[in-house]
A = this chain, B = another copy of it.
């Protein structure tokens, strides 16, 4: 299920956490990293686990989801290549606050708490990068919170797919394709709505030619019209 693999310094250089660091720092980071490979739909860690490490996706994708004491769950975030995950818990209470499950076959690297602190004290830029990454995510989650409280389901679903395209989209002949597979359930859980409501909107939009959904992969054909829906009220 989880196989150890080698990791190249060029992989490390592509991570947001180590942006702008000198080659020696990248070498240090690579030397301290534990690299692994996971199959699709494999759990990397679970909510409540201790032994927290700082993770980053090299290739593939990860779904970070959070379940409440009641049944309800949301997708906190999807992690695309280059992004880190699970690291905030190192600085708060030492337990993962959410589940991490691969969306597809995935390569990841991770660092222990001690090693990350070592890297941060040796290269303060790592701490600065981390503040920037967490800060951006804080602002993004705050935006989503505002949307969840003030906007309707159609707008939230539209914004969610736009954000995903921004985060992990690559251009194809017929539009912007989102880099990892998403079920309707995933779209619902990141939009803050139900499977049924998300399905209704996506199907409607597909019939209008705004997007295409093929084999759990979304392709946005007319992003500007989806943007319209995100801003206006209509369904």
A139, B192: Cβ atoms closer than 8 Å = no
A32 within 8 Å of B (CB atoms): no
Q: How many copies does the complex hold?
A: 2
A91 within 8 Å of B (CB atoms): yes
By secondary structure, the A interface counts as helix
Q: How far is the CB of A191 from chain B (nearest CB, A)?
A: 8
Cβ proximity bits A120-142 to B, threshold 8 Å, 1 near / 0 not: 11001001101110111111011
Number of interface residues of A (CB under 8 A): 42
15 example contacts (A-B, Cβ-Cβ < 8 A) are as follows: A68-B150, A70-B151, A72-B150, A88-B135, A97-B142, A120-B127, A127-B127, A127-B128, A134-B138, A141-B141, A145-B145, A145-B192, A148-B149, A148-B192, A149-B192
Chain A residues proximal to chain B, CB less than 8 Å:
66, 68-70, 72-74, 76, 88-89, 91-92, 97-98, 120-121, 124, 127-128, 130-132, 134-139, 141-151, 192-193, 231
